[in-house]
Amino acid sequence: MLAGELYEVGLAVCSHVWPSNSKLTVCRGGGSNTTEWNHESQGPKMAKRFILQALKQILFNVPDFNELLSVAYLPNQSMAFHSDDEQGVQGFIAGLLLGSDATMDFCCKGDVKNCPTLLTVTLSHGDILVMDGDTIQQKFLHRVELFGYRFAATARFIAK
Ligand SMILES: O=C(O)CCC(=O)C(=O)O
Ligand SMILES: [Fe+2]
């Protein structure tokens, strides 16, 4: 499920993009880190299918995601405060979470040291976390802290 190089927040990452002939602006996982969807193994495809099946039971207008961002964490790792607002990333983002429990903290953009945590969400094995709306990424940062081995498969739609 995972390949790739170190990236901005110090984790290995790869980005799975489909269809293979699309010319997408892919953010962190782009370029040599990106596996064309047609060449991708079953894992990311299953993750996308699972997320879509689950969300379509309860939500309208779920996008047909065209990127799957996979992250594997070792027990001593975390993901630092960031927002998913790279060029082209659309506001509806859904992550399938596997493995150990984790917490996701949200705070306002600005000086992280002086910004209190506004919301902490506990994420458990099998949960799907949805962030819906550009405002979440424009105004807030999120980070992930965990307690053991963990994977996140984040489905996003990248506009051309
Ligand atoms: O690990 C997670 O649950 C979320 C990862 C994340 O925020 C990201 O890949 O942008
Ligand atoms: Fe994120």
104 DSSP β-pair partners: 121, 144
- Best of 16, 78, 104, 131 to mutate for ligand 1, by most ligand atoms within 8 A of CB? 104
For ligand 2, the distance from its centroid to the CA atom of residue 115, given in whole angstroms, is 18
Which among 90, 81, 25, 97 has a CA at the least distance from the CA of 61? 90
| pLDDT above 80 for 62 | yes
Chain segment 84-114, per-residue pLDDT in tens? 998 889 999 999 999 999 999 999 998 767 8
Give the residue, by CA position, lying nearest to ligand 1 atom 10: 84
CA angle 9, 74, 12 (to 5 degrees): 40
Q: In angstroms, rounded to a whole number, what is the distance separating the alpha carbons of residues 18 and 22?
A: 7
Structural contact between residues 78 and 150, judged by C-beta atoms closer than 8 angstroms: no
Give yes or no for a contact between 58 and 115, defined as CB atoms under 8 angstroms apart. no
pLDDT at position 154: 95
CB 95 less than 6 A from any atom of ligand 1: yes
Mean pLDDT of the chain: 82
pLDDT at position 82 is 93
Q: Which of 11, 8, 34 is nearest to 22 (CA)?
A: 34
Predicted complex ipTM: 0.98
Q: If residue 12 lies in a helix (H) or strand (E), which one and from where to where? A: strand 12-17
* Domains identified in the chain and CATH numbers: 23-158 (2.60.120.590)
Residues 31-53 pLDDT 10s: 566 776 666 667 888 999 999 99
Q: How far is the CA of 58 from the centre of ligand 2 (A)?
A: 23
Name the pTM for this structure: 0.83
Question: Which position has the token pair 């799907």?
Answer: 128
* 3 compared with 124, residue with greater pLDDT: 124
Distance 148 CA to ligand 2 centre (A): 19
Q: Give distance in angstroms: CA of 77 to centre of ligand 1.
A: 12
Cα–Cα distance measured from residue 80 to residue 65, given in angstroms and rounded to the nearest whole number? 24
